[in-house]
């Protein structure tokens, strides 16, 4: 995939994910799916009580997996809920975090969605270092793009300037590495 093609399909924004009009936003949820702090709480507040009722009916979600609901009062049509790992510094943390992105993208593809927005999964209360998490998130999504051509837009939405800059830097480093690899 060329740098231009990546730029057309993968974006990094600063703002509030709950205000984004895309096919699906991803909720960095806890395993109960019943709301919490940070992005999870903001999405639940913006979506309304219908989201909480639907999440109650789902009955939870294991770490690394994803579930989908309607967006209710959000501008996004759907919410994909995924549960990231609590950071412990193990290899398993990286595997589970990557699975959050993979499973969210697969679910979006199953529902024929073309645009999806991700927060920085596990980087808040779950303490995943954003420098490490951003590389995993971007790398996982870039690898998935070739297998999921119907997903035309992947947006990483960061709430602070600092986190936006970290994601931007990670993307630039990954693209630099990709362009340095000779195509056979």
Q: What is the pLDDT of residue 2?
A: 43
Reading the chain (184 residues) residue by residue, the pLDDT tens digits are 444 456 678 999 999 999 999 999 999 999 999 998 889 999 999 999 999 999 999 999 999 999 999 999 999 999 999 999 999 999 999 999 999 999 999 999 999 999 999 999 999 999 999 999 999 999 999 999 889 989 999 999 999 999 999 999 999 998 888 777 665 5
CATH topology of domain 13-180: 3.40.220
Tokens coding 52 = 């909480």
Q: What is the largest CA-CA distance in the chain?
A: 53
SS3 call for 83: strand
Q: Is 110 exposed, middle or buried (0-12, 13-18, 19+ CB in 10 A)?
A: exposed
Going from N- to C-terminal start, the domains of the chain cover: 13-180
Q: C-alpha distances in angstroms, 124 versus 30, 82, 109, 183?
A: 12, 14, 27, 38
DSSP 12-70: EEES-GGG--SSEEEEEE-TT-S--SHHHHHHHHHH-HHHHHHHHHHT---TT-EEEEE
Helix axes 49-58, 38-47, angle to 10 degrees: 110
């Amino acid at each position: 995939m060329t740098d231009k093609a990546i730029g057309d399909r993968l974006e990094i924004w600063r703002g509030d994910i709950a205000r984004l009009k895309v096919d699906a936003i991803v909720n960095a949820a806890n395993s109960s799916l019943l709301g919490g702090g940070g992005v999870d709480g903001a999405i639940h507040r913006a979506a309304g009580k219908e989201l909480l009722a639907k999440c109650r009916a789902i009955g939870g979600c294991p770490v690394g997996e994803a579930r989908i609901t309607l967006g209710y009062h959000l501008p996004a049509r759907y919410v994909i809920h995924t549960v990231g790992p609590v950071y412990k510094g193990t290899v398993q943390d990286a595997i589970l975090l990557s699975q959050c992105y993979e499973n969210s993208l697969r679910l979006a593809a199953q529902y024929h969605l073309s645009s999806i927005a991700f927060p920085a999964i596990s980087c808040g209360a779950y303490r995943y270092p954003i420098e490490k998490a951003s590389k995993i998130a971007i790398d996982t999504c870039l690898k998935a793009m070739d297998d999921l051509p119907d997903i035309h837009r992947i947006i990483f939405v960061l709430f602070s300037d600092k986190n936006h800059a970290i994601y931007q830097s990670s993307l630039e480093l990954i693209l630099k590495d990709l362009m340095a690899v000779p195509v056979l």
